[in-house]
Structure 1
Amino acid sequence: MKRILLFFVTILLFSTCKKEYSVGDMKDPCTCYGDEVCTEQYVSLIIDLKDQYKDPIVLDEYYSTILETGEKINLQDVGLDSLRRKSGRYPIWEDKLMSLTGRCAKQIEFTGLREGREIVKKTFLIGHDCCHVKITLGDPNVIIPK
């Protein structure tokens, strides 16, 4: 009886072991496999535009461009833009656009205009972790001299 019990315990232990990946079996770091554990939060990447006196920069128009394709993404929202102008904080990219960047990131250029003139043009490297977008290169805190 003890041998049978020991046999089942040994089988149980071996069946719970996970396969170790060898160098040839490595997962592609740029691919999502569906086994990620994600939170329910919604992420918006924000650029914070201030002048040298820390006053917010007001933009009339802004958009992001995927440099690889030239596709322009307009994240303006009539309901939120008055708040954005008061704070100088504008969206660069959001979770709803995650499929456009890829996990290993793409270059995204934020452009802001006031009175038809380009006030800011800043390039970021934006990717995701299979759950939420993230800036992998570029500082979203920008000082614009008056």
Structure 2
Amino acid sequence: MSTKLSPAIVAAGGEKLTVILENGTEQEVLVRLLKLGEYAQYMARVDHELNLAAYLTGNSVEWASKLAAQSVMEIVSLGHDLNFTGACLWATRRAKLTEAALPVQAALKKAGIVDSRILEKEIQKMTSEPASPPPSPV
């Protein structure tokens, strides 16, 4: 299963998939195309299949635990196809920001200019997703 991102998938917010529950019933779910601010949660779940399947479909882990194992893996696979490239680009950017800030943090700490705890909080703010986007200039 290899999904190429298309305008239709973006407009739909993901791609529909028919899954099978352990009781034999079928259910159609939307495997979500994640927003930028959801990448951290996605990356935190990539090696927890039930949790990831629940997150990608907007369902509970309890629901995901009632899926046939193959359906869980189909959700995870489609979710990977839809989101992994973007999430990796996001993570790479975040890592570069953190890496660039480390020498500055060390130099300021060594010079006694800034309390390292305050600086660490500021670096965390710089590398985390803002609660809401800044207003657009008008």
Q: What is the TM-score with the length of structure 1 in the denominator?
A: 0.23
Task: Give the number of the structure whose residues are more often strand, by fraction.
Answer: 1
Q: TM-score, normalised by structure 2?
A: 0.23
Higher helix content, 1 or 2: 2
Where relative contact order (Cα < 8 A, 6+ residues apart) is larger, the structure is: 1
